[in-house]
Structure 1
Amino acid sequence: MKKNNFKPSPFALAAFLLTNSVAHAQTAPAAAAVEAKPASAGEAQTVTISASADASKEGLSSAYAGGQVARGGRLGLLGNVNVMDTPFNTTNYTQALIQDQQSHSVADVLQNDPSVRVARGFGNFQELYVIRGFAVNSDDLAYNGLYGLLPRQFVSSELLERVEVFRGANTFINGAAPGGGGIGGAINLLPKRATNEPLTQVTLGGESGGQIYTAADLGRRFGPDNNTGIRINAAHRDGDTSVDNEKRKLDVLSVGMDFKARDFRLSADIGYQNHRLTAPRPSVTVDTSIALPAAPEGSSNFAQPWSYSNERDTFGTLRGEFDISKDVVAWAAFGARSGEEANTLAAPTVSKTDGTASTYRFDNARKDTVRTGEVGIRGKLQTGAVAHSLSATLSGYWQDSRNAYALSDFFNPLATSIYKPVNSAEPVANFFTGGTLSNPLTTHKSILSSYALADTMSFVNDTVLLTVGARNQTIKDYSYDYNTGAENSKYNESAVTPVVGLVFKPMKNVSLYANYIEALQQGAVASGTDIVNQGQTFSPYKSKQKEIGVKYDAGTLMMSAALFTTSQPSAYVQNKVFGIFGEQRNRGLELSVYGVPTRGLRLLGGLTLLDAEQLHTAGGANDGKDAIGVPDTQLNLGAEWDVPGVRGLTLTGRTVYTSSQYADGANKQKLPSWTRLDLGARYTTTIADRAVTFRARIDNVADKNYWASAGGYPGAGYLVLGAPRTFVVSGSVDF
């Protein structure tokens, strides 16, 4: 489609749905734990559950056999959809998995996913997720479908009921991601809600280095028919980590509320997170003229003792849903976040293979204000032999970022080594500055708006499901001078991203699917020296994906396979013209499995094979070579075994394998492959009439030293050292 050719109004669809709705609204489903009811007419699977993550009529999709993964998840304006009914590849990790694995953050949960590898942001400690070989920043995590609301660098697992992973391009699903992700996948996080039964749970724990952990989880329902619920979670971590001289302190508090009436539902969330790192081990940049040095010991720390990174966020959401009729529901959701970051960094650059390195001080201050929201309507109707599930939505996103920085003299760097670190006196950061650290000015504003329409059509008794739709996305972006606040540049462009998805069910437990879908990123503004089109603004980049796959539900074991190819444009200068001449193409095969193959045994994992190729590069220098930081093979396999004869005892294990990858576009610096083995156990019993669960885990059992990832930020190949052998233990008591 050409830009802006698609101009249907979502209000027209809304009016059509309303005029075709004559039935009275149904009563909201009672909160009771039961199995999912089969979907029909291409609609989302409807379930009644003991906890709901939002104001959704469908509720939270029930867990699949084994309890580690859910049967379905949220697909933006399409609502909650069973995995067998969606033309995409998704996995939805449950709170049971999060708690049993003692996960600290989203990154810990995604250690189970063969399509994802965890990296780090450029120059900081931001969690970054590489899905299908493309980076998804933690800026681009969605919270119940809304972007930008959660803490920007680290999201504590105590906030989460589900971690939903969508694989592939996804601008149509929730709109363009504010951080420029959305090419290889998307991650949606769901908040906790009060269950039917009262919940009062306290957890105490610790880990290698002396890190202490305490948490409380309380939930209650009250009112007529338990129509009102509240869920409160609080957590505190403090102490040294398994890395030498590194300290972490974390405080988390969240309150989730919900209310259910006959024909409408409301939910709200308020959250606070304060995350502080002292002497955190930084990423490593290696001079491109040398071979990559061997990985240092996993417990070593080459951070300067005066370095730190602090992040504090307060956020909230409000969501409502109203049953206009039996078959039509409308919703609205709004959210806001206020975040502050401050850090002093000193990342080393290695110049010799013996580990010789240099560093300088870099200070940064940032304040973010985010407001976001969406409204939508979804309904069913019949046209002859074809059933339709129609959806329309409007969304908006606004962000104001205030930034300032200061550097020490980088012409006289501090000498150090990644093998024998040298602690230097703290230099003064006043050599080169931008803005005032104590009072940063607005340096960046983003305004995203979109509307989308979709129709999922059902044919031949729901054996064929065809989804078609499109989203019209507008991206406005403004940058301002750090010192004066004057506008430097502005960007205002629109584009349409379509989607076509087909599901065919030749048998009840088999789904064949195919899709075409696009991702959207802000286009470049021509810049540089000696170019003839300085300042030219380009339309948003479209990354195009094609995928086919198969899913098989054996009743207690789910298996799937997917083949995909995604192309991403890129910009560079050619013959003094800045343009969109470059392209990267990622192709791959994904195999996944989860469930209970036999009684007492649970499996979770899979294999991803990737071919990430640079097709067109400046001067053809790197044509045909691998993209930075994308391994050819990723294998994750986890298992849980309930020990026969010892009631309540479960042994766990997980293997993570990542093949070699390159740290530079010329493919001269190659990271070795690595394999990590994690082992654990948990024991559930009753003490003094209280349910008690003890958990223990050892990550990196063999204490291997390895470079875990390369890059994440486009064109950069900085290295992140893998964590050493780490022991984690905890105990939970239900009162």
Structure 2
Amino acid sequence: MTFTLKHPVLACAIVQAFVVTPAAVAQDAIPSVVVTSSKWIALDRASVGGFAETQLLDAPASITSIGQGQMQDLSIRSVSDASRYDASIGDAYNAIGYAEQFSVRGFTLDNATSYRKDMIAISGDTQIPLENKERIEVLRGLAGLQAGVAAPGGMLNFVTKRPTNAPLRSATVEVRERGTVYGAVDLGGRFADRRFGYRVNAAAEDLKSYVRGADGKRQFISAAFDWQMSPDALFQIDVDHQHKEQVTAPGYQLLRNEVLPTGISAKTLLNDQPWTRPVDTDSSNLGLRFEYRISDTWTATVNANKHWFKRDDFTAFPYGCSNEGDGYYPGYCSNGDYDVYDFQSTGERKTPWGAQAMLQGRFDTGAVRHALTIGSAYAERHDSFGEYVYDYVGSSNIWQNQIVPPVDSSRVTGPVMERRATEERSLFVQDILTLSPAWTLHAGVRYVQLKLDALEEIDQARVKSKDSFALPNVALVYAPAPDWRVYGSISHGLQYGGIAPMETVNQNTVLSPSRSKQFEFGVKRNVNEQLALSGAVFEITQGLEYTNAANIFVRAGEQTHRGVELSAQGRALPGLNYNLSLMALDTDQKDTGDASTEGKRVTNVPELRTAAWVEYVVPQVAGLKLDAQWQYSGNKVFDPANRVKVPGYHVAGFGASYLLRAGGLNTIIRARMDNAFDKFYWRDVTQSLGGYLLPGAPRTFRVSAQIDF
């Protein structure tokens, strides 16, 4: 078993440089909180709901915040792991070895705008590393005021770990089924000059996927530093880099484009050819933040992030059936045959960056208290790619793989050039008015200007467009008691138009930006640290984008999502913690002008999804905790015409952790078993790339040790 050691070695070199003796007595200028408990009520703050960290109870929005302690306790190594604990998050062409892609409230998140690092957009086209993340924040619903352009379902914000005041030394090792080995270190503290702090994270994985043959490796390293320049001025910088290469596992299509395939093993790799190569990605970030306290009531903040993404994409891609009659496109043959294409797209580059400046303060006008935010933001993104290779090479079978040679091994991607550039400028203002002890009004608006410059096809002229939008957001919050909040909100959102997928008549064409609108009514309650309840009803409307019967990618009519979300978190008994969530969703397509889709359900959206987690601290054995997790998803429709329904599923998992002191060090041993009853299910049903079904993971195991030293 071979590891690439250059990043861990670099991490060790950095650590060695930071082995310093902190001052024995010093006043900490920067507060630090280390979360060590897995109880879900511990995280009661998030920044994704507004323009600063806010208590979840006071935010007039539906927000989930998963912290570092929870990620460690539940062996969460990816967002896919984390999504099991929130019923509002689903998969959206989340293929093993490729990009992790999700939906929230039934809307697919936009890879360009819906994934944020410290509230600045980054590319969601690869697995986002969690080793240097303090928490994952999920905003469910429109984010027009907070972020400008973002998918209507919401967004994921990843909060970067910062230096700790006390020395932090932690290492984690983990082994999983089929021999995956994972190792990570987390190191933090302050220099002898306590104004300067550091945080270093590094990780390496040798990946042996449950999909046999979809193997790979990953390395990651990051560093974050801060400088308390004065009692009122704080400067922060962070940098990270990840390299990942893994063979991707494509999904399945319908037999004859009308029947679900059966007898499938989730361990089967349809990309199993001798000439198959892994998808190779590199992603990096450079983040800056400066905060200056002007007075006790006014603060100015500037933050920015530059993201680099590179991908070489290779797949023995399964699509369509040419071995039966006139063929099926999309769809596989009755006997499970499918066409195999040699797909190559090398040299892909995406380089988004963004910056934001804010002035925030508090003041009174008569009996009304104000919390005012005024700011501006700028973001741009440049996508470069070439004409991909997509050659038919033969056929294989979903039950019996057939080896086919590539037609021309010398074929390569066409010249890589900038094909798409976007620019977003915005001004925003929000005022939170405390009208009385019981009533608070949140009112804000964001004005956005968008520019697009795209080269849809090499032999065509560039397409350029300019648009501007005003995105208002108003919410009224009522506090009938100190631990109760009732709110109603109206918000507008904005999203870029979809890109016509491969094999459509208008492939690579970018649709124009479009608005979305949301109404939401919610109730929240926090009772000390024992209980947190929340519930929301909402309606979200946006334009419907899909590939029509003429194989043209269009926006026609509207899709409306009406839903209910419920969650309960806390401690039922002194040793019993829990987290429960539910989402019921009714979706429909209307005004499409197409009788086959009018009034039908939206694809890949179950009508009911639930998630439950319970943890029991065993009183008879000091340091031992047991937990169980359960997911339910109702059936989904496969296509916009609702011809095929995909069955729902139940999946259960179990875990245990044991805290012991070995060799003078605190060590936590953890074990997890997911899909404990080894149930086959279709976890992901997407219309991307012609429509695919992705199986859920079979029974899987992992054992880890966390050592704090």
Fold equivalence (TM over 0.5): yes
> What is the aligned counterpart of 2:414 among 435, 458, 461?
435
Q: Look up the match of 2:292.
A: 322
Q: Look up the match of 1:40.
A: none
Alpha-carbon distance between aligned partners in 2 of 1:732 and 1:571, rounded to the nearest angstrom:
46
Q: Does 1:420 align with 2:400?
A: yes
Give yes or no for contact 1:447–1:475 (8 Å, CA) kept in 2. yes
Amino acid at match of 1:492: K
Q: Does 1:488 align with 2:451?
A: no
Q: Look up the match of 1:594.
A: 569
Q: Check 1:639–1:733 CA distance in 2 against 1; reply closer, same or farther (3 A cut).
A: same
Deviations 1:658-690 (A, max 9, x none): 111011011111111111111111111111210
Q: Does 1:134 align with 2:107?
A: yes
**What's the TM-score once normalised by structure 1's chain length?**
0.85
Deviations 1:596-622 (A, max 9, x none): 121111111311101111112233321
Q: Look up the match of 2:614.
A: 639
Q: Look up the match of 1:210.
A: 179
Q: Which runs of 5+ in 1 are unaligned?
A: 1-28, 33-47, 52-61
> Where in structure 2 are the equivalents of 1:49-198 lying within 5 Å?
49-50=32-33, 66-67=39-40, 70-75=43-48, 78-120=51-93, 125-139=98-112, 140-148=114-122, 152-177=125-150, 181=151, 183-198=152-167
Runs of 4+ in 1 over 4 A off after TM superposition: 29-32, 62-65, 121-124, 481-484, 523-527, 536-539, 571-575, 577-581
Alpha-carbon distance between aligned partners in 2 of 1:303 and 1:579, rounded to the nearest angstrom:
30
Give yes or no for contact 2:434–2:441 (8 Å, CA) kept in 1. yes
Give yes or no for contact 1:77–1:174 (8 Å, CA) kept in 2. no
Q: Look up the match of 1:304.
A: 272
Give yes or no for contact 1:77–1:391 (8 Å, CA) kept in 2. no
Q: Look up the match of 1:653.
A: 628
Q: Check 1:212–1:580 CA distance in 2 against 1; reply closer, same or farther (3 A cut).
A: closer
Amino acid at match of 1:734: D
Q: Tell me the CA shift for residue 651 of structure 1.
A: 0.7
Alpha-carbon distance between aligned partners in 1 of 2:367 and 2:191, rounded to the nearest angstrom:
44
Q: Tell me the CA shift for residue 83 of structure 1.
A: 1.1
Q: Tell me the CA shift for residue 67 of structure 1.
A: 4.8
Alpha-carbon distance between aligned partners in 2 of 1:492 and 1:264, rounded to the nearest angstrom:
38
Q: Look up the match of 1:718.
A: 692
Give yes or no for contact 1:491–1:537 (8 Å, CA) kept in 2. no
Amino acid at match of 1:379: G
> Where in structure 2 are the equivalents of 1:573-722 lying within 5 Å?
581-711=556-686, 713=688, 717-722=691-696
Q: Check 1:622–1:67 CA distance in 2 against 1; reply closer, same or farther (3 A cut).
A: closer
Q: Check 1:590–1:221 CA distance in 2 against 1; reply closer, same or farther (3 A cut).
A: same
Q: Does 1:478 align with 2:448?
A: no
Q: Check 1:318–1:102 CA distance in 2 against 1; reply closer, same or farther (3 A cut).
A: same
Q: Look up the match of 1:522.
A: 496
Helix, strand or coil: the match of 1:303? Answer: coil
Give yes or no for contact 2:278–2:313 (8 Å, CA) kept in 1. yes
Q: Look up the match of 1:220.
A: 189
Amino acid at match of 1:473: V
Q: Look up the match of 1:469.
A: 444
Q: Which runs of 5+ in 2 are unaligned?
A: 1-26, 320-330
Amino acid at match of 1:96: G
Q: Does 1:396 align with 2:378?
A: yes
Alpha-carbon distance between aligned partners in 2 of 1:252 and 1:474, rounded to the nearest angstrom:
36
Q: Tell me the CA shift for residue 131 of structure 1.
A: 0.5
Q: Tell me the CA shift for residue 159 of structure 1.
A: 2.4
User: What percent of counterpart residues are identical?
Assistant: 27
RMSD over aligned Cα atoms: 2.9
Alpha-carbon distance between aligned partners in 2 of 1:580 and 1:401, rounded to the nearest angstrom:
23
Q: Look up the match of 1:543.
A: 516
Amino acid at match of 1:421: N
Q: Tell me the CA shift for residue 732 of structure 1.
A: 1.4
Alpha-carbon distance between aligned partners in 1 of 2:421 and 2:253, rounded to the nearest angstrom:
30
> Where in structure 2 are the equivalents of 1:531-570 lying within 5 Å?
540-555=513-528, 556-570=530-544
Q: Look up the match of 2:475.
A: 501
Q: Look up the match of 1:732.
A: 706
Q: Does 1:335 align with 2:343?
A: no
Deviations 1:313-361 (A, max 9, x none): 1211000111111111111011112221001112323423543222211
Q: Look up the match of 1:8.
A: none
Alpha-carbon distance between aligned partners in 2 of 1:227 and 1:435, rounded to the nearest angstrom:
51
Q: Check 1:657–1:353 CA distance in 2 against 1; reply closer, same or farther (3 A cut).
A: farther
Q: Does 1:369 align with 2:331?
A: no
Alpha-carbon distance between aligned partners in 2 of 1:600 and 1:473, rounded to the nearest angstrom:
50
Give yes or no for contact 1:161–1:190 (8 Å, CA) kept in 2. yes
Alpha-carbon distance between aligned partners in 2 of 1:111 and 1:703, rounded to the nearest angstrom:
16
Helix, strand or coil: the match of 2:565? Answer: strand
Helix, strand or coil: the match of 1:112? Answer: coil
Q: Tell me the CA shift for residue 210 of structure 1.
A: 0.8
Give yes or no for contact 1:151–1:313 (8 Å, CA) kept in 2. no
Q: Check 1:611–1:501 CA distance in 2 against 1; reply closer, same or farther (3 A cut).
A: same
> What is the aligned counterpart of 2:243 among 268, 274, 291?
274
Amino acid at match of 1:202: A
Give yes or no for contact 1:213–1:235 (8 Å, CA) kept in 2. yes
Helix, strand or coil: the match of 2:69? Answer: helix
Q: Tell me the CA shift for residue 134 of structure 1.
A: 0.2
> What is the aligned counterpart of 1:356 among 313, 329, 337?
337
Helix, strand or coil: the match of 2:80? Answer: helix
Amino acid at match of 2:401: P
Q: Identify which range, 608-617 or 112-121, moves more after superposition.
A: 112-121
Deviations 1:400-447 (A, max 9, x none): 11102433433xx5211222222322343678x8623xxx11111111
Q: Tell me the CA shift for residue 68 of structure 1.
A: 6.3
Q: Tell me the CA shift for residue 554 of structure 1.
A: 2.2
Helix, strand or coil: the match of 1:156? Answer: coil
Alpha-carbon distance between aligned partners in 2 of 1:217 and 1:524, rounded to the nearest angstrom:
39
Alpha-carbon distance between aligned partners in 1 of 2:38 and 2:297, rounded to the nearest angstrom:
30
Give yes or no for contact 1:495–1:539 (8 Å, CA) kept in 2. no
Q: Check 1:80–1:581 CA distance in 2 against 1; reply closer, same or farther (3 A cut).
A: same
Alpha-carbon distance between aligned partners in 2 of 1:63 and 1:682, rounded to the nearest angstrom:
13
Q: Tell me the CA shift for residue 381 of structure 1.
A: 0.7
Q: Look up the match of 2:361.
A: 379
Number of aligned pairs? 660
Amino acid at match of 1:495: F
Amino acid at match of 1:322: Y
Give yes or no for contact 1:544–1:568 (8 Å, CA) kept in 2. yes
Q: Does 1:344 align with 2:314?
A: yes
Alpha-carbon distance between aligned partners in 2 of 1:174 and 1:64, rounded to the nearest angstrom:
31
Q: Check 1:341–1:524 CA distance in 2 against 1; reply closer, same or farther (3 A cut).
A: closer
Alpha-carbon distance between aligned partners in 2 of 1:560 and 1:712, rounded to the nearest angstrom:
32
Q: Look up the match of 2:14.
A: none
Q: Look up the match of 1:54.
A: none
Amino acid at match of 1:359: V
Q: Tell me the CA shift for residue 522 of structure 1.
A: 2.9
Q: Check 1:709–1:524 CA distance in 2 against 1; reply closer, same or farther (3 A cut).
A: closer
